[in-house]
Amino acid sequence: MKHLTLVNPVLRSAQIAGSVCPPAVAGLLRCYNMKFCPFAQRALIILEAKNVKYDIVNINLKQKPEWFFEKSPLGKVPSIEVDGKIMSESLVICDYLDEVYPEPPLHSPDPWRKGQDRMFLEIFGKVTGGFYNVYFSRGDKDTLNKGLTNARAGLDSFETELAKRNTKLYGGDKPGMLDYMIWPWMERLPVVEKFCDQAVLTENCYPKLFSWREEMQKDSAVKATCISPEVHYKYLLTSLSGFPDYDMELAMPSHL
């Protein structure tokens, strides 16, 4: 897949307090981003899946530039800007992109299935919450085990649902919105396994999800936005230290 970002985001380090907002590029949607944020990655995946031409401005979330609050009232990423108009929140952004750029369609045309997908996004909170428990357990075995238990309970639901649908992916033969919305955390699963020193998503316990992950890794939008587990791990260590390196490897995007 040809990467369609016309303004190379890797040349623009994370903007900090006191900086001036980079000038807009005519005709391009802009995404305010933090390279290692899974919520922001959601928006980038959809932009890639829709072949949208876009520009990225990376933000230092510890020292946010003053102008960023005009671009994101809550000071969070992702936020997009289109012709001077602003939209925030990853799910809102992704739904907007799916409507404005209808090909390929990512939501099911069946209202019931669309609702089911939304329900499973809520269930996925068990997985993400469990991951963060593991990250921040800091040697506390009770916290770590609680995190793993919650994550596996969520993964159990997703394994069962994929078996019910009898498809390779939740969207069928191709990724749908649910597939893309949960992918950023599944991309980070090897980091969780590194922190707890054990395999979580094994082929024996989760044969459907195991195959799902292999299939998703072939997707062009996933490839265009992926970061290696090694880099994710290095970044997370800096974040846990209290000094996150937002510019880590910005000059060497893993998808190029």
Give the pLDDT score at 222. 98
| The one catalytic residue among 21, 31, 37, 196 | 37
Q: Is 196 a catalytic residue?
A: no
User: For the chain, which ranges sit under pLDDT 70?
Assistant: 1-11, 251-256
CA distance 199 to 202: 6
Tokens of 112: 């019931």
Tokens of 74: 């809550």
* CA–CA distances in Å: residue 171 to residues 2, 72, 105, 198: 23, 31, 10, 30
For tokens 């980079």, name the residue: 22
Task: Indicate the domain borders of the chain.
Answer: 9-103, 111-225
Give the pLDDT score at 251. 53
Answer whether 188's CB lies under 8 Å from 131's CB. Answer: yes
Give the pLDDT score at 219. 98
Architecture field, domain 9-103: 3-Layer(aba) Sandwich (3.40)
Among the four given CATH numbers 3.40.50.1950, 2.60.40.3080, 1.20.1050.10, 3.90.1150.10, the one describing domain 111-225: 1.20.1050.10
170 Cα distance to chain centroid? 17
pTM: 0.93
Beta-carbon-side half-sphere exposure of residue 229 (alpha carbons within 13 Å): 11
Beta-carbon-side half-sphere exposure of residue 107 (alpha carbons within 13 Å): 19
Give the pLDDT score at 12. 72
